[in-house]
Structure 1
Amino acid sequence: MSTTSRTPHPPVNSRTAGARPGRIAAFLGLFLLGALTGAAGALVQAAWFPGGLLLSLAAAAGLFWTGTALTGSRAGVGASGAGWLVAVLFLTATRPEGDFVFGAGLGSYVFLLGGMAAAVICATVGNLVQPPGDSVRLGK
């Protein structure tokens, strides 16, 4: 009988695991979903006011929260929020023809500021899980 003790390997933490192809694909997918949600929300919020505004903000907040839950980190909110912001900023820029998607109404400003506030709230509150291990405690 051998008395050699084996030291257990530390658990793999998602923050220290490095960039894996699956994680990169998840962040890219969240970025694209954020861009799609931002573009769809820009069109819906003005079409069915005020219901469309609430629907588009709920879709953005749901995507941001799902990004946190899927990745287990705040980077999920960053990826989906960046895609949302890129799409919204692209649609707010005026073109030489004078066409743009956002009007100068209250709903447009509520959509822009509300979407950014939803991203910040989801990143701050977050649904981060406790790291594995018996003696590991967050905040201590």
Structure 2
Amino acid sequence: MLQRILGTRAQRMAEPLPPRGVRITAYAVLFLLGAAVSLCGAFVQALWAPLGVLLAFGGTGGLFYGGLRLTGTKLGAGIPLAGWFAVLLVMMAPRPEGDFVLAAGLTSYLYLFAGAVAGVVCATLPTRSGPAFGVPPGDRQRAVRDVRP
């Protein structure tokens, strides 16, 4: 069933990349979505423990994989991961009053670890863009051929 929803690897690799302008706009939106998911997940994982951790992890994993599929590049998973992590860094820092959002606890550590692993796994999945970040394979070969004397 999952293969029917996500498609086979051959089907995913055969999909065309979105135009460059669409990808750049998607990167900006994905960064903001990563920040928003991070903020929401930090509160959800503590509010409804232990089910909240699963909900927060599902949101982060879904965003990272969705960014990968939307853009067709590894950057599509890396950009929301950067936004997610940037907001978490701010929320982990203690305030002058002694308050902080992410307390030292099992659910907080599980959310941090599982979210980071999900982002790295999604960023290392095979993509339609080849090894270069966001450069389609044909364009990369053409660029290398044009540079050589």
Whether TM exceeds 0.5 here: the answer is: yes
Question: Which blocks of at least 5 consecutive residues in structure 2 are unaligned?
Answer: 1-15, 130-135, 139-149
CA RMSD of aligned residues (A): 2.3
Match of 2:44 in 1: 44
Give 1:21 shift. Answer: 3.5
Q: What is the letter of the counterpart of residue 83 of structure 2? A: G
Q: Which amino acid is 1:63 matched to?
A: L
Task: Please tell me the residue identity of whatever aligns with 1:44.
Answer: V
Question: 2:118 and 2:125 mapped to 1: Cα distance?
Answer: 10
Largest Rg, 1 or 2: 1
Give yes or no for the alignment of 1:108 onto 2:108. Answer: yes
Amino acid at match of 2:48: W
Q: Choose between structure 1 and 2: higher helix proportion.
A: 2
- The question of whether the paired residues in 1 share the 8 Å contact of 2:74 and 2:125 is answered with no
Shift of the alpha carbon at 1:59?
0.4
- Give the alignment of 1:5-24 within 5 angstroms: 20-24=20-24
Which ranges of structure 1 fall in alignment gaps of 5 or more residues? 1-12, 134-140
1:123 corresponds to: 123
Q: Is the 8 A contact 2:38 2:85 kept in 1?
A: yes
Q: Look up the match of 2:4.
A: none
Q: Percent identity?
A: 48
TM-score, structure 2 normalization:
0.72
Aligned to 2:86: 86
1:132 deviates by 8.9
